[in-house]
């Protein structure tokens, strides 16, 4: 092995790295590489990423559950034959939709594309969705209806570095993607870093930050009040609104009642602070001669039953200030998963075909069907969203088999007791993974698949930048790519469409399928990516790519940004006498997503070995709870016991629990699976909870 340039396997920042040979078989050393997003930096997860390649419980051979209920090794042919036989039998009795597929935002573009194609062509099933529904779906829905295009950041991340003000709504990037903090420095120094979060997170605690510590679930009301100040104090960019927005009057109508004093009563953020934040943001806007301003949203704003409306309010505020499409200003969404952007562009989402096309669009169906060599009429229509799909598993008329690729549902989905029940009701559960995750341990068949340093492919960063992932080491044992699973099953099911196991061949097909779509990759080749920075859309091989969208027009039919009036409403599971506090979930610096990878890295696991609940000292004193002692949390969906961490970083009405832990430490046992009506995002981020001191052992499920 020689030095191999690639990118970190974790978040959508996709920090550039170089992999070097280590002193153990299959092992590599990670070194940071200078790149616009990370500027030669890495976080603790990135530095230790190579440890996951050689963990002791790495899956290296296919497993099948025997008559005694044990997962035992088998051959690839036997495992594929078994799954294909069961699929044929179930589809013969219950039809194509009896088989469902669930993907992940960490899959390469090639694997995400092949997964969507496999579901619709080989299985002919509408039942396909992915865990990105838990990530960016609210932001995607909001930006599509406002701008006509969804790209997390419609500008390079480096543009943030020139801004005097940045409003972060529900994003804790100092812990989730630490190298990105370097791009906030100018805003920090200018006193224009504005952070909306119910916790004093690492980001809210950055030097120079103004923390707007809103009550959980009230971000929408706060942003409406910020927009009210901008409009009522004459700070809006009226020329921009007249030229580039479809209905500026709707902005005034929808925010007129949200004066800061009213918002203070709802959000807990002082009216003076609201006015100060709005004026800081406006002063940085181009209309007032500022260097630039940005509004960015994250999961804290989006993982609500009104997440789409909260993001819409942020977009409306950006429009009032004349930011979207302006050089050095704009609105964007901080994508979480490594391929959260590319993963939803190429067909593993229930309602989409490659190129970010709608599966309900006859022209889109015809184009993609021609690439796949099938009749458009044979393609299924839109399927169920993730939670709705999970809730239908094993029910009358619902899917009887589920194939999972790149997702750990038994940690990451809401209301886990229901998820566990639905998975148990299946006739067949198949999981492709790199380690025995909580979900894999329940499976009937487990396929061992390649991970980042063992495979070639492409990823798309939070900025829409398409990146090359390059293999550095051979996979261990009998490990093969997810592409091998799709190809092997498709051929056994008698599918005549091609399913290549060569990722470059798959990408070439992806290029054709995406051509003419919103996310057009047709002008991108692997050889170009080795030498150029390319942001989609890239509609031709001589096209330079599109680092910045919306400079001249938006992606809507009339070219204008569309104002969608929205209003605040409470969280679905709001406070009551029996449950008088809010439960908020989130991430830690040391861990990633469901923790299946990072909990296996000794350095990271030792730093944060088990789940905990952050509780305000006032509440701890009232309930007789001391630091480190067990507490019971109970919601309408379940209860758990975990260690208390007493801190002033949370509000007195809030309990914070990280979601990276499995088993009895999985906080999603408690979270609410009620959905946003537009994006179908579940309300992870806020629900009513009761709290009491507990005598039970820490990290256990209480009675």
Q: Are 569 and 306 in contact (CB under 8 A)?
A: yes
Q: Cα separation of 607 and 611, whole Å?
A: 12
Instruction: Name the residue ranges covered by the structural domains of the chain.
Output: 4-54, 63-134+339-535, 144-333, 581-693
Kindly state the average pLDDT of the residues 103-115. Answer: 97
Record the pTM: 0.96
d(CA 154, CA 536): 10
The CATH code of the domain at 581-693 is 2.40.40.20
Nearest to 16, CA basis, from 465, 451, 589: 465
Q: 4-54 and 581-693 share one CATH topology?
A: no
CATH 3.40.228.10 is the classification of domain 144-333 = yes
425 CB-near residues (< 8 Å, 6+ apart): 393, 394, 395
Q: What is the pLDDT of residues 310-338, one digit of tens each?
A: 999 999 999 999 999 999 999 999 988 99
Q: Is the pLDDT of residue 492 over 80?
A: yes
Tell me which architecture the domain covering 63-134+339-535 has in CATH.
3-Layer(aba) Sandwich (3.40)
- Mean pLDDT estimate for the chain: 96
Q: Is the pLDDT of residue 267 over 50?
A: yes
Whether 135 shows a pLDDT value over 70: the answer reads: yes
Q: Which residue has the higher pLDDT, 512 or 702?
A: 512
Q: Using one digit for the tens of pLDDT, what is the confidence trace for 56-65?
A: 999 999 999 9
Nearest Cα neighbor of 597 from 29, 155, 44 is 44
Position 702 scores a pLDDT of: 38
The confidence band for 23, taking pLDDT boundaries of 50, 70 and 90, is confident
Instruction: Check if the beta carbon of residue 545 is closer than 8 Å to that of residue 233.
Output: no
- Distances, alpha carbon 74 to alpha carbons 64, 66, 447, in Å: 7, 10, 10
Provide mean pLDDT across the span 457-466.
Answer: 97
Question: What local confidence, expressed as pLDDT, does residue 701 receive?
Answer: 46
pLDDT at residue number 698: 57
Q: What size, in residues, is the chain?
A: 703
User: For the purposes of burial, counting CB atoms within 10 Å of the CB of 160, is it exposed (0-12), middle (13-18) or buried (19 or more)?
Assistant: buried
Q: Is the pLDDT of residue 697 over 70?
A: no
Over residues 269-316, the pLDDT tens digits come to 999 999 999 999 999 999 999 999 999 999 999 999 999 999 999 999
**How much is the average pLDDT of 626-648?**
97
**Domain 4-54 classification at class level:** mainly beta
Distances (CA, A) of 59 to 46, 406, 452, 476: 22, 14, 15, 9
Using omega within 30 degrees of 0 as the cis cutoff, is the peptide bond preceding 498 cis? Answer: no
């Amino acid at each position: 092995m020689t030095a191999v340039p690639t990118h970190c396997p974790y978040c959508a920042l996709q920090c550039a790295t170089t992999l070097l040979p280590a002193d153990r078989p299959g092992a590599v050393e990670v070194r940071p590489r200078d790149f616009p997003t990370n500027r030669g930096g890495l976080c603790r997860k990135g530095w230790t990423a190579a440890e996951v390649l050689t963990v002791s419980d790495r899956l290296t051979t296919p497993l099948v559950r025997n008559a005694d209920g044990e997962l035992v090794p088998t051959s690839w042919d036997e495992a594929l034959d078994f799954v294909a036989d069961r699929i044929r039998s179930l589809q013969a009795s219950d039809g194509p939709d009896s088989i469902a597929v669930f993907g992940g935002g960490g899959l390469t573009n090639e694997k995400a594309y092949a997964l969507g194609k496999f579901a619709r062509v080989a299985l002919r099933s509408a039942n396909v969705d992915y865990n990105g529904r838990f990530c960016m779906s609210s932001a995607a829905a909001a930006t599509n209806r406002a701008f006509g295009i969804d790209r997390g950041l419609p500008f390079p991340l480096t543009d943030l570095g020139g801004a005097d003000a940045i409003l972060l709504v529900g994003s804790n990037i100092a812990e989730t993607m630490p190298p990105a903090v370097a791009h906030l420095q100018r805003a920090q120094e200018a006193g224009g870093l504005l952070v909306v979060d119910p916790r004093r997170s690492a980001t809210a605690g950055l030097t120079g930050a103004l923390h707007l510590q809103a009550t959980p679930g009230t971000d929408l009301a706060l942003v409406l009040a910020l927009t009210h100040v901008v409009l009522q104090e004459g700070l809006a960019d009226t020329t921009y609104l007249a030229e580039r927005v479809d209905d500026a009057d709707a902005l005034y109508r929808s925010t007129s009642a949200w004066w800061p004093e009213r918002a203070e009563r709802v959000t807990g953020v002082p009216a003076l602070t609201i006015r100060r934040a709005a004026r800081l943001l406006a002063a940085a806007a181009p209309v007032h001669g500022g260097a630039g301003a940005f509004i960015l949203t994250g999961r804290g704003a989006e993982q609500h039953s009104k997440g789409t409306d909260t993001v819409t309010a942020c977009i409306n505020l950006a429009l009032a200030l004349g930011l979207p499409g302006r050089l050095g200003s704009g609105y964007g969404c901080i994508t979480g998963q490594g391929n959260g952007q590319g993963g939803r562009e190429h067909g593993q989402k229930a309602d989409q075909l490659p190129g970010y096309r709608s599966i309900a669009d006859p022209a889109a169906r015809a184009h993609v069907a021609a690439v796949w060599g099938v009749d458009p009429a044979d393609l299924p229509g839109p399927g169920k969203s993730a939670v709705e799909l999970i809730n239908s598993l094993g029910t009358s008329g619902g899917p009887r088999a589920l194939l999972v690729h790149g997702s750990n549902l038994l940690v990451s989905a809401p209301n886990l007791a229901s998820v566990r029940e639905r998975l148990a009701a299946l006739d067949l559960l198949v999981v492709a993974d790199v380690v025995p995750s909580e979900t894999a341990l329940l499976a009937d068949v487990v396929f061992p698949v390649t991970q980042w340093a063992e495979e070639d492919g492409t990823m798309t960063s939070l900025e829409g930048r398409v990146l090359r992932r390059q293999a550095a080491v051979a996979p261990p044992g009998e490990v093969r790519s997810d592409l091998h699973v799709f190809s092997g099953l498709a051929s056994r099911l008698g599918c005549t469409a091609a399913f290549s196991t060569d990722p470059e061949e798959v990408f070439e097909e992806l290029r054709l399928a995406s051509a003419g779509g919103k996310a057009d990759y047709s002008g991108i080749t692997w050889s170009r990516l080795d030498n150029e920075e390319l942001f989609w859309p890239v509609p031709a091989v001589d096209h330079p790519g599109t680092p910045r969208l919306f400079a001249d027009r938006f992606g809507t039919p009339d070219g204008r940004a569309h104002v969608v009036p929205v209003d605040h409403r409470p969280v679905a599971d709001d406070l009551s006498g029996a449950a008088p506090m809010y439960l908020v979930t989130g991430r830690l610096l040391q861990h990633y997503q469901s923790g299946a990878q990072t909990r296996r890295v000794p350095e990271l696991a030792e730093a944060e070995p088990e789940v905990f609940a952050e509780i305000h000292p006032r509440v701890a004193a009232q309930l007789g709870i001391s630091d480190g002692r067990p507490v019971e949390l109970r919601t309408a969906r379940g209860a758990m016991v975990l260690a208390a961490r007493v801190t002033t970083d949370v509000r007195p009405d809030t309990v914070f629990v990280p979601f990276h832990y499995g088993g009895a430490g999985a906080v999603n046992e408690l979270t609410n699976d009620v959905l946003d009506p537009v994006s179908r995002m579940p309300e992870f981020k806020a629900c009513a909870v009761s709290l009491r001191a507990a005598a039970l052992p820490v990290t256990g499920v209480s009675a």
